[in-house]
Amino acid sequence: MSPDQDIYQKQGFGNTLAPKAPFGLLIVDFVNGFADPLTFGGGNIDQAIECTRGLLAAARHRNWPVVHTRVVYQDDGTDATIMALKVPSLLTLREHAPESHIVPQLQPVGGELVLRKTNPSAFFGTSLAAWLSQRGVQTLLIAGCTTSGCVRASVVDAMCHGFRPLVVTDCVGDRSLQAHEANLFDMKQKYATLMPCDVALKATAAEEQGVSP
């Protein structure tokens, strides 16, 4: 055990937060711009997108509510946020810009919510919490990018809204692997359950069937 893990454990962090049905899936910002290392991508984002294909297929098979998010600003930038002031290149993510469109591998289908946002969290200033609550979601599986940015912000807000966040570790990515690992560690200690995709699918299936995984 590392010194960091030791002090967190001694102080009571990192307790188990068991997945509880019903489940939903949130896919954060897997858009073309974040799949392109020359735009906003890099690191392990491509691998996370590929892994999310199986997660999304399973969610559809199980009839979970599914949400996709896009960062989208007005063409004239009138709705620029503090995040856009910090990273002005984000203002290129406009409604009809190819970079703001969801990657071909994860195209939404009918009945799935496509949520536009201008801040890191999928919950901030959006109808997401109400949409999930209306569908009875207790545990929200989360995929997307970046781990240290919009994924983390959405995880924290999911918890604050009373959902159990389950971060699917091989379905989230970041241009910085160091930031990716550090934020996974921190979210595990404070905010969320962390599982790789295969383990998450087995655990959620067991919960839905009312048996021990």
13 lies in a domain? Answer: no
The catalytic position among 51, 145, 150, 197 is: 150
Structure confidence at residue 82 (pLDDT): 96
Domain count, the chain: 1
Helix (H) or strand (E) run with residue 25 in it: strand 23-28
17 lies in a domain? Answer: no
Whole-model pTM? 0.96
Spell out the residues 6+ positions from residue 97 whose beta carbon is closer than 8 angstroms to its own.
Answer: 33
2 lies in a domain? Answer: no
What does each C-alpha distance from 41 to 4, 5, 57, 67 come to in angstroms?
Answer: 29, 30, 24, 21
16 lies in a domain? Answer: no
Sheet holding 23-28, edge to edge: 113-117, 66-71, 23-28, 139-145, 164-173, 193-195
Question: Contact 46/31 with Cβ under 8 angstroms?
Answer: no
- Rounded CA gap, 25 and 132, in Å? 10
Q: What is the CATH number of the domain that holds 123?
A: 3.40.50.850
Residue whose structure tokens are 């919950």: 123
Does 150 qualify as catalytic in the annotation?
yes
48 lies in a domain? Answer: yes
Structure confidence at residue 1 (pLDDT): 67
44 lies in a domain? Answer: yes
| Per-position pLDDT tens, the chain of length 213 | 678 888 998 999 989 899 999 999 999 999 999 999 999 999 999 999 999 999 999 999 999 999 999 999 999 999 999 999 999 999 999 999 999 999 999 999 999 999 999 999 999 999 999 999 999 999 999 999 999 999 999 999 999 999 999 999 999 999 999 999 999 999 999 999 999 999 999 999 999 998 654
Domain of residue 202 covers 22-206
137 lies in a domain? Answer: yes
7 lies in a domain? Answer: no
Residue whose structure tokens are 């966040």: 165
